[in-house]
Amino acid sequence: MGQTIAEKILSRAAGRQVQAGEIVVARVDQVMAQDGTAPLAIQVFRQMGGKKPFDPERVNLVIDHSAPSPTESISNLHKMMREFAWEHGCRLYDIGDGVCHQVMVESGRVGPGCVVVGADSHTCTYGALGAFATGVGSTDLAAALISGHLWFKVPETIKVVCHGPLPPGVFAKDLILYLIGRFTADGATYKAVEYTGSAIKELSMEGRFTVANMAVEMGAKVGLMEVDEKTWEWLKEHGGGEFTAFSPDPDAAYAKVVEFDLTSISPQVACPHRVDNVSPIEKVAGTKIDQAFIGTCTNGRLEDLRVAARILAGRKIHPRVRLVVAPASRKVYLQAMREGILATLVEAGAAVVTPGCGPCVGTHNGVPADGEVVVSTANRNFKGRMGNAKAEIYLASPATVAASAIAGEITDPRLFLK
């Protein structure tokens, strides 16, 4: 019987032919943990009797969730990570290097056919590179750190066919918000998603990362895409090594196949306090905002900053609004400086902060006040997510967030993109 991409990758990693439903103990190619999960993983690693990681070259520790550290207790946890990395020769990404998922896809060490586990739920981002990449907790991560293996239930796959092209002013983020609205927050639980169709193929790699990133927002274990020339080009640019790409067999068995026509959708907005509470922009336009945020592992990449700069060039953000911008990585930050993007954003009134996750997850760098409304390019709008349960968070594309920052209310970016 034919196999899906997930079945093929796990077959290779387990060293035998597997089908959905089977349990496998598979080798992992890379492991990653960030500062919210690594300290606990290191503690568990020691409790499990771990002496050294299975292969330090394949271990990535990223300090991004509270970077630079806002408190002494967090500083002590960061110190624990640094000392572990230095002692064992693991790869350490320290403050300013960037958001874990962005540094991982930029690293050249993750690519087609890889199995990657990360102690962060948005590890599914690397599915855009054809990798079986999934989020795990600290104990699973510690087990992988010691053994280089982890157990997986081979997931069933949902094939999601996205017919395009997307209309002008509608972006990768709008596409994935639309899908999550249709699937709901648990519509793909325990499943792999294979995204395909012309709307996906036409996306840049950066846009594909955005779409793969939010697979977990519908409960999925991984969000996979087929490898094509754009994928290989990205890997070449980022020093990628040897990889084996897998395509689904024509007779692969899917849990279901769902088709969407995206040729006439509007920009989409996820309303408080659920990611699947999605509306077209026409329904929420006019909602007053206090803060706008562009960044995160979903939408802090160069393409995102470019479109924001295009909209904000020669304009000023609304006097009653703050705009916080966090480039996704040091590389993104540097290139945005070189292209003059950051100058444009800062002139418009943006506050640029260190690459990292702080504003998205509520640790620091832009915690909203009671009753305030935020429009953000992040992937979650749960109550309390940004550090204040009395605030409201809307999720949208970088273009929508930039347009809203100018108008002071949620605004259709197409008004500024004509």
Partner 1 sequence: MRGRAHKFGDDINTDYIISGKYKFKTLDMEELARHVMEDLDPEFYHKIRPGDFIVAGWNFGCGSSREQAPLVIKHARIGAVLAKSFARIFFRNAINTGLPVVECDTDQIEAGDELEVDLARGVVENLTKGISIPIKPLPPVMLKILEDGGLIAHFQKYGGFKLEGV
Binding interface with partner 1 (CB under 8 A): 23-25, 35-37, 39-40, 43-44, 47-49, 65-66, 71, 73-74, 77, 118-121, 123, 135-140, 142-143, 146-147, 149-151, 153, 185-186, 189-190, 219, 221, 274, 361-363, 367, 380, 382-385, 387, 389
Minimum CB separation from partner 1 for residue 271, in Å?
14
β-bridge partners, 252 = 2
Among 80, 94, 88, 89, smallest CA distance to 42 is for 80
Taking the chain, what is the end-to-end CA distance rounded to the nearest angstrom?
50
Minimum CB separation from partner 1 for residue 143, in Å?
6
Nearest-angstrom CA–CA distance, 19 and 4: 9
Nearest-angstrom CA–CA distance, 167 and 262: 8
Minimum CB separation from partner 1 for residue 359, in Å?
11
162 is in an annotated binding site: no
Minimum CB separation from partner 1 for residue 179, in Å?
16
CA atoms lying within 13 Å on the CB side of residue 152: 33
CB 67 within 8 A of CB 356: yes
357 is in an annotated binding site: yes
Minimum CB separation from partner 1 for residue 49, in Å?
6
Question: 97 or 206: whose CB is closer to partner 1?
Answer: 97
Let me know if 186 is exposed, middle or buried by CB neighbors in 10 A (0-12, 13-18, 19+): exposed
Question: 119 or 284: whose CB is closer to partner 1?
Answer: 119
- For 26, the token pair is 């598979």
Minimum CB separation from partner 1 for residue 382, in Å?
4
Question: 64 or 409: whose CB is closer to partner 1?
Answer: 64
Minimum CB separation from partner 1 for residue 397, in Å?
21
Question: 21 or 314: whose CB is closer to partner 1?
Answer: 21
Element spanning 149, H or E:
strand 149-153
Quote the crossing angle between the two packed helices 38-47 and 138-147, to the nearest 10°. Answer: 60
Nearest-angstrom CA–CA distance, 258 and 218: 14
Question: 140 or 194: whose CB is closer to partner 1?
Answer: 140
Question: 203 or 361: whose CB is closer to partner 1?
Answer: 361
Nearest-angstrom CA–CA distance, 52 and 42: 11
Strands 30-34 and 222-225, how do they pair?
A: unpaired
Let me know if 43 is exposed, middle or buried by CB neighbors in 10 A (0-12, 13-18, 19+): middle
114 is in an annotated binding site: no
Question: 48 or 334: whose CB is closer to partner 1?
Answer: 48
Name the binding residues for [4Fe-4S] cluster.
Answer: 297, 357, 360
Name the binding residues.
Answer: 297, 357, 360
